[in-house]
Structure 1
Amino acid sequence: MGATQETMHHVGTLDMFMKQIGRIVELNGEQIAVFRDSSDRIYAVENKNPHPKGGPLAEGIVSGHYLYDPLYDWKIDLTTGLVQAPDTGQVKVYEVKVEDGGVWIGA
């Protein structure tokens, strides 16, 4: 079940998110890492590395729909949140909508 209009939160405009660089937004007390790929698609995941030692994800680099985490060089699929083999784990993925230049995240 997708987020309803009441659960979508405006977090800025598309031009506020640099391509291939993460930005942190806070919703309901949670830090969310928001990324814009080279095709202007927006992804949002929890800003919490699934590695046992943890750490932020917003400082990672985006290539296609993958995030390369800055601390452990894990490759994370931004569409599913799944860490790619040989590593394992998953991050929470948030629904994203871009409408009339505005970016909305479901939380």
Structure 2
Amino acid sequence: MSKTLRASDLAQFTGSQTWRRHPLNPNITYTDGAHHVARAGEAYWLLDAIVAHQLDPKVAAHEFQVWKLVVAANRSAVLTCEDGDHHLVAKQEIGFTDFPLAEIILWFQNQVIFLPSEY
């Protein structure tokens, strides 16, 4: 399957009809938009990373989280978590990714991962 994720597709997600439970932590769900990112971008690993970071009490203490993945030209990436007021909470270096977009932002609030447009 080739990656079919395009940034222009993300604007269509303005709410969610379905919330899927994450297999690593069934208390955490994700929306249609986050599912589209994972499916079309072959990036379930990105949802897994956000969920795994919730095991860190420093991260979990923040009720609202802004997760940003930035992919460099050499295909390395950095995944960061901010608290919503631009304060860095967590940072993960990724040696290689084939994620198709140069950048994506996901939000995490009330145990739900979602696109900002779905707020």
Q: Normalising by structure 1, what TM-score?
A: 0.38
Select the structure that is richer in strand.
1
